[in-house]
Amino acid sequence: MTNVQKAWEEKKEITVDALAALPSDARVLIDIRDEAAFAHGTVPGAEHLNPLELQQGGYDLPEDKLIVCICMWGKISLGLAENLRQQGYTAVSLRGGYALWLQKKIEAEAAAAAEDDRRLKHIENSLRKKYKRKISGKFVETICDYHLVQPGDKIAVCISGGKDSMLMAKLFQELKRHNKIPFELVFLCMDPGYNEMNRRIIEENAKLLQIPLTFFSTDIFESVFHVEESPCYLCAKMRRGYLYRKAQELGCNKIALGHHFDDVIETNLMSMLYSGAIRTMMPRVKSTSCPGMELIRPLYRIREADIKSWRDDNGLYFIQCACKFTETCSTCHTDGTTDSKRLEVKKLIAKLAASNPQVPGNIFHAMENVNLDTVLAYKQNGEDHSFLENFEE
């Protein structure tokens, strides 16, 4: 006799809460209501069996598990459980039956929904009040200054499941709710091969934040898994291509990505240090592969530290990287456990900012303050230009 059987050997009933605490492999659930009632709904994992046949020993039930009998109100199942105990089984009746189980389920769901509503209001209020200057204000400022949203736009807000894209989705919702400019939103989430847990985290966060996701699936993770050189670069390129095509298919003219201020300045510095070029992420980019499509970056001026603070203040948990390379991919970690060029630059900026807090802002503003009279050469529209061109004038 198992420990579970010993614990219930002398008892006739089990409560809904006690049933929920039992390991699923330690009990067998038997629903003895009629077939129509069973088809309408039952306790998850319950099997429909005929009560008369059970009384006559017509079923081969496991002798090493607790048998839980379920009827509508927990009355008829009491007699059946007694009969099964006389047959040598360890059997109990579910107190209150399926009706009480269903009532408690509805109450628990209502309580969870109320808590989700409370959390959502807190999250949205934090963007309107505490983080208005550092997040919401900068979001609107970026959109206005770079003309990212225009009347008639249909924007695919691309959701990766991370903190940046989820925040971007909420900010767009707020903008849509309070802005007079007519535009449409599609919250587009590509599943490139997430495992079940990561997919569920994305779905649960979207549910909490009331973001109506439009999912579509690809096999990108599987395609790049065996690529030895630059799999992350290939993955990112393929993801971008799929997003463009899906957005175009849905009638969108823009896709919005969640790159923030820190991504921008890190890219600036990386281009100078490792590519020998002055180049940055632009807030708006016209697609060369999908005519008529634009890429926009509305988090362009929002600091990553402020995004993390918003996330932590609201007790939110998001996935960071859900690919098969997560444990070894150098672009997936920022905790110092891996080595990458972006991580090196991130650490360098942090070190410089520790002694001079103006450094991050100066790197950003340097891209807005390029004086062509003081550079050796530059490119424009694909053509090379030198300072010597006008030197003698």
pLDDT digits (tens, 9 = 90+) for 70-92: 999 999 999 999 999 999 999 99
Determine the 3-state secondary structure of 381 from DSSP: coil
CB 342 within 8 Å of CB 179: no
pLDDT for 21 beyond 60: yes
Determine the 3-state secondary structure of 52 from DSSP: helix
Q: What is the mean pLDDT of residues 223-230?
A: 61
- The pLDDT assigned to 69 comes to 96
How many helical (H) and strand (E) elements, i.e. helices and strands, does the chain have?
15, 13
pLDDT digits (tens, 9 = 90+) for 89-148: 999 999 999 999 999 999 988 888 899 899 999 999 999 999 999 999 999 999 999 999
- The pLDDT assigned to 140 comes to 96
| Spatial distance between the Cα atoms of 320 and 310, rounded to a whole number of angstroms | 16
CB 345 within 8 Å of CB 355: no
Read off φ and ψ for residue 31, nearest 5 degrees. Answer: -100, 120
- The pLDDT assigned to 194 comes to 73
Determine the 3-state secondary structure of 37 from DSSP: helix
Strand 66-70 relative to strand 90-94, pairing: parallel
| Both tokens assigned to 17 | 């809460």
Q: What is the mean pLDDT of residues 303-310?
A: 95
- The pLDDT assigned to 327 comes to 36
- The pLDDT assigned to 228 comes to 60
- The pLDDT assigned to 325 comes to 45
More confident residue, 339 or 166: 166
- The pLDDT assigned to 324 comes to 47
Eight-class DSSP state of 39: H
- pTM check: above 0.85: no
Eight-class DSSP state of 121: H
pLDDT for 196 beyond 50: yes
**Residues, the chain:** 393
| Both tokens assigned to 258 | 């969640």
Could you tell me the strand order of the sheet in which 90-94 lies?
Answer: 13-14, 90-94, 66-70, 27-31, 47-48
